[in-house]
Chains A and B, each alone.
Chain A
Amino acid sequence: RKEVEQDPGPFNVPEGATVAFNCTYSNSASQSFFWYRQDCRKEPKLLMSVYSSGNEDGRFTAQLNRASQYISLLIRDSKLSDSATYLCVVNLSGGGYNKLIFGAGTRLAVHP
């Protein structure tokens, strides 16, 4: 079983749609959680951290359910520029050392 599992997609949605991505992780000792965005043939970049209480950044909302070991990302009012691969990332280590485990990513394609 993969340590971080995501639906690979692709999710093909029209502009303005709301889309949700899910992610599950296997290690209950995981300390912190993130969504990274990766454009085609580019490097990953942090989109947002995911906190226990859930958090929102503009059109993006992230939720964490520790009991179910489940993380979600909701994108409202999708833009063409949201087309990318979204990586679910889990940090297994406490303190400052990042032992990051990356999911394989969910691809989103937003069309006009």
Chain B
Amino acid sequence: DADVTQTPRNRITKTGKRIMLECSQTKGHDRMYWYRQDPGLGLRLIYYSFDVKDINKGEISDGYSVSRQAQAKFSLSLESAIPNQTALYFCATSDRTDSSYNEQFFGPGTRLTVL
């Protein structure tokens, strides 16, 4: 079984709809992240969470919100989807460590299309 899972894997929705993307992990990691990937651009950080009570905005948080329901679950919501939120969304996790050489483990991604 995959260590980091995302649901749904694909979603097509309409402008103005509320969408929730879910991420679960069995790695026991404290830290979780949401990124989006657009063609020709690198992955960009939307939100990150160091633990259940610690949630922080990333580089491009406008139009998004998150919820850390448990150590293992981190959800991303689009309150009112717009077409430029069409992208590939990745959840990632990392362990608690003082090292800057700390691997992030990614889920399989959710391909979201907003019409």
Contact = CB atoms under 8 A, between A and B. Distances in A.
A96 B96 contact: yes
Given A43-B90, A43-B108, A94 B100 contact: yes
A7 to B, nearest CB: 13
B101 A49 contact: yes
Main secondary structure of the interface of B (DSSP, over half): loop
Main secondary structure of the interface of A (DSSP, over half): loop
A101 B43 CA distance: 8
Contact of B98 (A44, A49, A96, A102): A96
Interface residues of B, number: 24
A32 to B, nearest CB: 4
A46 B99 CA distance: 16
A30 to B, nearest CB: 9
B40 A32 contact: no
B31 to A, nearest CB: 8
Contacts of A98: 31, 33, 94, 100, 102, 104
Given A43-B109, A91-B102, A99-B45, 14 more contacts: A4-B42, A32-B101, A42-B109, A43-B107, A46-B103, A46-B104, A87-B42, A95-B98, A96-B31, A96-B100, A97-B31, A98-B94, A102-B43, A102-B44
Interface of B: 31, 33, 40-45, 50, 90, 94, 96-104, 106-109
